[in-house]
Amino acid sequence: MTWKRRTLAFLCFALMTLGFYANGGVYVTPHNIIVLLAFLGPFTILGLYCGLGLKMPLALFFRFVPLPFGLLLSAFFISIGLRYEHPFVLGGLIAALAGGCLAMVGINLKSEAVRIFARPRAISLAAVLGLTLIMPLGIVLWSLENAALRHFWAPINLGIAIAAFGTIYFAIDSKQSPLDRAQSASLNAVLLITGFLVYEYFVGLARVEFSEWTAILTAQNVLTLVAAFAIYFVVVFVSICHNQIHQLPTRHWHLVETFLFFVFMVIAPESILELEVDQMSQDDLDEISLSQ
């Protein structure tokens, strides 16, 4: 009966997706495919490493890995879209959506499937994480002709993220385990940097001398947020490999809240009321021009 229920669940999800596509709510474009490729490629490598190398149960992997990785890639592609005026600004949200859908699969898998598994070696763990973080960058450099590697590497971005992480890590009670402290510090670093990013965004809009550079400055600041997301993802993955996960559901929830706050404050589309006002103003202008 289990496989029948899972088959029916998959069919219902496929029908829902096809319905959204037929209704015009899902657009398949080349840059959306690039985002999915940048997500699924590294995610597959992580899954093979955890499933075959560590014998980790799928329930544990899907429950905690896809969501932070999807949000990390989404912030990364938003930064690229702002820097190069590319549709990646909105296309990057597909990575967050894919991560959320896969996390939903993990949440609904049997909890008793979570069992003891092998612990990773430090070298193999570092190699897999490094490859996972480098692959999306390589895909972007391959897909964008005017992209330059120097635009994605500024030591100050990584330095700010590490400094925010270290500030909170060393301020936390030392009675907690190192991984618990690292989880809390990396999450709060994302919260802190998001607050500063939104503040700098509105300051840039208000100052005339920065108004023309708002998109580029915001893109550079988002790279700092990407670095913070990367630190959180690395900490989470290492924690999962060592089965220290009891606080991760709550921390993932706060991570999603922070990401949504950033999206709605910085790249939110116009509301329906704003679109109606713009349309009414355009209609009025058309009537005036006709009357003349």
pLDDT, tens only, 13-41: 788 777 776 766 566 677 788 888 889 99
Of 233 and 25, more confident: 233
Residue 244 has pLDDT above 80, yes or no: yes
What is the pLDDT averaged over residues 33-58?
Answer: 89
Domain count, the chain: 1
Residue 83 has pLDDT above 70, yes or no: yes
Decide if 15 is inside a domain. Answer: no
Decide if 16 is inside a domain. Answer: no
Q: What is the pLDDT of residues 112-152, one digit of tens each?
A: 545 567 788 889 999 999 999 999 888 888 877 777 666 66
- Residue 202 CA to residue 118 CA, distance in Å, equals 48
Decide if 4 is inside a domain. Answer: no
Task: Determine the pLDDT at residue 1.
Answer: 46
Decide if 8 is inside a domain. Answer: no
Task: Determine the pLDDT at residue 40.
Answer: 92
Residues 59 and 114: beta-carbon distance below 8 Å: yes
Task: Determine the pLDDT at residue 158.
Answer: 85
- Which residue, 155, 140, 130, 144, is CA-closest to 230? 130
- Residue 25 CA to residue 9 CA, distance in Å, equals 21
Decide if 226 is inside a domain. Answer: yes
Decide if 43 is inside a domain. Answer: yes
Decide if 82 is inside a domain. Answer: yes
Task: Determine the pLDDT at residue 181.
Answer: 92
Question: Can you say whether the dihedral through the CA atoms of 256, 262, 268, 271 is positive or negative?
Answer: positive
Q: What is the pTM of this model?
A: 0.84
For the chain, what percent of residues have pLDDT higher than 90?
28
Question: What b/e sequence results for 88-105 when a residue is b if at least 16 CB atoms lie within 10 Å of its CB, and e otherwise?
Answer: bbbbbbbbbebbeebbeb
Token readout for 114 is 């979570």
